Amino acid sequence: AQSVSQHNHHVILSEAASLELGCNYSYGGTVNLFWYVQYPGQHLQLLLKYFSGDPLVKGIKGFEAEFIKSKFSFNLRKPSVQWSDTAEYFCAVKEGGSYIPTFGRGTSLIVHP
């Protein structure tokens, strides 16, 4: 079965620091990749997604992610975090053509002002 690993469970940064959250998956075929964010008290919402094409994907709020097929990875990056980026971040992977993504366990990010 497909598995998704998010290695950082808790990350604490100061404002303006750079962010990289790791995501690795186990499926060897075609995949669709997602990063979701859940701000405190809010709905889970899509940050960015990859289906095909340029492996460097840009999302909302200055986030980007890079798909590296050889490493089965889809790491999330932001060059300079803000206090408002404090949230839980989830990586999700869907086998190409399937309907349901598998989610990682999430990474809790706290940004100190």
Partner 1 sequence: KAGVTQTPRYLIKTRGQQVTLSCSPISGHRSVSWYQQTPGQGLQFLFEYFSETQRNKGNFPGRFSGRQFSNSRSEMNVSTLELGDSALYLCASSLGGPYNEQFFGPGTRLTVL
> Residue 63's closest CA among 44, 80, 51?
80
Structure tokens at 1: 């079965």
Q: By CB under 8 A, is residue 67 in contact with partner 1?
A: no
Q: How many helices (H) and strands (E) does the chain have?
A: 0, 12
- Residue 2 vs 17, nearer CB to partner 1: 2
With contacts defined by CB under 8 A, name the span among 21-29, 57-65, 76-84, 104-112 that binds partner 1: 104-112
How far apart CA 74 and CA 35 sit, in angstroms, is 9
The label of the residue with tokens 């053509």 reads 97
| 35-64 footprint of partner 1 as x/- string (CB under 8 A) | -x-----xxxxx--x-x-------------
Phi/psi region, residue 53 (left: phi>0; alpha: psi -120 to 50; beta: rest), is: left
State the minimum distance, in angstroms, from the CB of residue 15 to partner 1.
Answer: 26
| 80-99 footprint of partner 1 as x/- string (CB under 8 A) | ----------x-x-x-xxxx
| Contact set with partner 1 (CB under 8 A) | 6, 9, 32, 36, 42-46, 49, 51, 90, 92, 94, 96-106
